[in-house]
Amino acid sequence: MKASLLLIGLLSAGIAFAAPPAPKSEGIEGKDYKWNAQGGEKSEALTKKGDKVAGAEGYEVCGACHLPSGAGRPDGTFPQLAGQHTTVLIKQMADIRAGLRDNPTMYPFAATLTDAQELADVAAYIESLCIPIEHGKYEGADAAVQIAKGKELYEKQCLECHGKTGEGNKEKFYPVIAGQHYKYLLRQMTEIRDGHRRNANPDMVKVIKPYTNDQLVAISAYQSSLVMPGAMCKPKAGAAPAKKK
């Protein structure tokens, strides 16, 4: 079964395929929206102990786009997942499945996870992967300037939630951003600012709303330069990415 799902994943990475449309629930535009409301599949999955061995099998279909290492794509089409907090992974997958986050590319794959236990298993496996050190960074000629500007902005308003090294906060569902691709970060922050990420944290929306495009570029450039000591893959040429201990 997983092998056939992986084949579908490989095909879908290049072409669209017919699948039921994702449901659509009220997000940040709704007056009654609660960013991290309790209940439902998400809360159930959070109570489960994830099995990394089972999760590795469940992740096979994800690896077609996010790569077996969890490294995603430097062009920003698919995010780097390795080392991400289980809480964040479970929330995002559950939100996509429930129609709170619009991701028509991801939805057919998220929908293949059978239940809350499989959500927990896949999340546990992904969290166990080391964060690749080679990822998409800002590559403009003014990189040093942009990173310096981004550092100043980040330390004023982002550091409290996402941490000094981009480690996020597992208990508060704030994602790891260390090792994330620059283009993905820029796209997500732009979508959050412009109200297109319907499951965004309203507190982050308020913070990011006044930022200009140039400021988002600078912050994304800085964020993509962050590394988490002890969580990054070891630089071994030709070797498969190691698991975090």
pLDDT tens profile 65-76: 999 999 999 999
The pLDDT, as a whole number, for residue 186 is 98
Dihedral sign computed on CA atoms, order 213, 208, 164, 182: negative
| Token output for 185 | 């970060």
**CATH (residue range 143-223):** 1.10.760.10
Rounded mean pLDDT, 166-191? 98
pLDDT number for residue 239 = 55
Render pLDDT for 19-62 as a digit per residue (tens, 0 to 9): 567 778 888 888 778 899 888 899 999 999 999 999 999 999 99
Digit-coded pLDDT (tens) for 203-243: 999 999 999 999 999 999 999 999 999 999 998 765 555 55
For 51, 52, 71, the CA distances from 241, given in Å and listed in that order, are 20, 16, 10
CA–CA dist 180, 162 (Å, integer): 13
Local structure of residue 113 (DSSP, 8 states): -
Amino acid at position 7, single letter? L
Q: How confident is the model at residue 123 (pLDDT cuts 50, 70, 90)?
A: very high
Task: Write down the pLDDT at residue 12.
Answer: 43
Name every residue whose Cβ is closer than 8 Å to that of residue 10 and which is 6 or more positions away in sequence: 64
- What letter does residue 226 receive in the DSSP assignment? -
Per-domain residue ranges of the chain: 2-128, 143-223
- Its pTM stands at 0.88
Q: To the nearest whole number, what is the mean pLDDT of the chain? A: 89
Task: Look at residue 131 and tell me whether its pLDDT is greater than 50.
Answer: yes
The residues that bridge with 169 in the sheet, in sequence order, are 174
> If you search the block for the tokens 């939100």, which residue do you land on?
95
- 61/112 Cα distance (integer angstroms): 9
Residues facing residue 174 across a β-bridge? 169
Structure confidence at residue 23 (pLDDT): 79
Secondary structure percentages of the chain, helix, strand, coil, to 5: 45, 0, 50
pLDDT of 7: 38
Residue 209 contacts residue 193 (beta carbons within 8 Å): yes
CA distances from 129 to 8, 27, 183 (A): 24, 31, 22
What average pLDDT does range 142-167 have in this prediction? 97
CATH architecture of 2-128: Orthogonal Bundle (1.10)
Q: Which residues contact 22 (CB under 8 A, 6 or more apart)?
A: 96, 99, 102, 103, 104, 107, 111
Question: What are the residue ranges of helices labelled H in the chain?
Answer: 2-12, 40-47, 52-66, 86-98, 107-110, 116-128, 143-157, 159-162, 182-193, 202-208, 213-223
Instruction: Please tell me whether residue 169 adopts helix, strand or coil conformation.
Output: strand
The answer to whether the 2-128 and 143-223 domains have the same CATH topology is: yes
Nearest to 115 by CA among 182, 45, 220: 45
